[in-house]
Structure formats: structure tokens, C-alpha cells
Amino acid sequence: MWKQFRIGIVTVALTASPTMTHAAEIAVTLHEVTMEGISSEIGQIRFEDSEYGLLIKPDLHGLPLGPHDTHLHENLDCGPVELDGELIPADAAGGHYGPHKTGRLEGPYGNGALGDLPNLIVEHDGAATIPVLAPRLKVEDLHGRAAVIHAGPGRYGEGHASHHHDEASARRIACGVMDSGKRHRQPRNLA
Ligand SMILES: [Cu+2]
């Protein structure tokens, strides 16, 4: 049994194995984000439930070299927000997804915000294809959230504990929304 919904920029696929255990997966398309709004597409991230937790398989290109802090953020919106006369890229995605309201970022293995994902690693060709694991999350946690990639690395509690917009490393450089279709809205493009 195989079912696919293609809604806007998001593809959601649900698969059932012959043993009838349901393995859920979702793919999100990411776009570069700037002060002007949502820019070029940079590829996809697939998320799959595994027995060890949420498997995260990026297939992204055109990113700056190095590790990048990556999170689930609360809102289905990758647009910029004006703050003190300055436009902040993807700020409409809101804060970190953290239903337990810990207010902390302790990484994928800690007890802080659930949306604190492992760093995504960008190699010399600008591509990120190395899979990572977030053991506390499931695909069902992703619906209605945005995946956000930041300019610098995440240090899991050692800095970037909140969003200081003036910090270069906390800047949001790519974003994609995971919409199950119920509350679908087109990404704002202010460019
Ligand atoms: Cu973030």
C-alpha cells in the first residue's frame, strides 16, 4: 500500500511494510532565506522513523562549508520579520519547537527543546548529504513545523541558547515547512 500527497512544496509519503508496521516518512523542500524573503530551492531533507529515533537524511546543495545548527521551529512560515527597522530572515518560523517549554538547547541527546536537531555537515562542494539521528523525535512531531538551518554550528547548550539576531552564527540561512495539508498555506515570497 502506498499513498502520496503532493501539496505545494511538500511531499508526504506514508508506507506500510508487509508486516503492517507503519514506517512514516516526510520530505521537506528547503529554500535559501534572505531579508527579501524565500529564495532559491536548495534540495530536500527526508525524515524517517527508525527503531533508534528520527533518521534525518539531507540532500542539500549550495550551502556554506562546515557544521550548521539545525532545528525544528514552531511556525509554518519561512518569511522575514521586521524587527527594529531591520528585516530578519525566516523569523516568521518563530522559536524552537519545544512542547516541554524547557527554554534550553541541549542537543538531540539532551533534555532541552525537542526541536534541537544534530548539526548538518556541509562538505567542500557545498552539499549536505550525511544522515544524522534525533532519538527523541518521531515523524508525527514534524507536522506543522519549519525546519531551519542556521549560519553557524550548534554547540548544544554552549552558546546560541536563544535567538540573538545580531549574532552572525544564529542567522537563519535556509528554511522549509512541513505541512500535512490540513493547514496548507503557500510560503510568502516577498522578493
Ligand atoms: Cu533554530
CA of 42 to the centre of ligand 1 (A): 18
Q: Which residues contact 45 (CB under 8 A, 6 or more apart)?
A: 27, 28, 30, 56, 57, 58, 59, 60, 147, 176
Fold of 2-178: Immunoglobulin-like (2.60.40)
How far, in Å, from the CA of 120 to the mean position of ligand 1?
12
Contacts of residue 20, defined as CB under 8 A and 6 or more positions apart, other chains included, come to none
From ligand 1's centre to the CA of 79, what distance in Å? 14
- Strand, coil or helix: what is 60? strand
pLDDT single digits (tens) 45-71? 999 999 999 999 999 999 999 999 999
Mean pLDDT of 165-184: 77
Grid cell listed for 172? 537563519
Q: How far is the CA of 185 from the centre of ligand 1 (A)?
A: 21
- For the chain, what percent of residues have pLDDT higher than 70? 77
Mean pLDDT across the stretch 165-173?
81
Q: How far apart are CA 120 and CA 122, in angstroms?
A: 7
Q: Which residue's entry shows cell 514506517?
A: 23
How far is the centre of ligand 1, averaged over its atoms, from the C-alpha of 71 (Å)? 5
Altogether, the residues listed in the chain come to a count of 191
Q: How far is the CA of 96 from the centre of ligand 1 (A)?
A: 6
158 pLDDT tier (thresholds 50, 70, 90): low
Q: What is the pLDDT of residue 125?
A: 98
The ranges assigned to domains in the chain are: 2-178
| pLDDT at 9 exceeding the cut of 80 | no
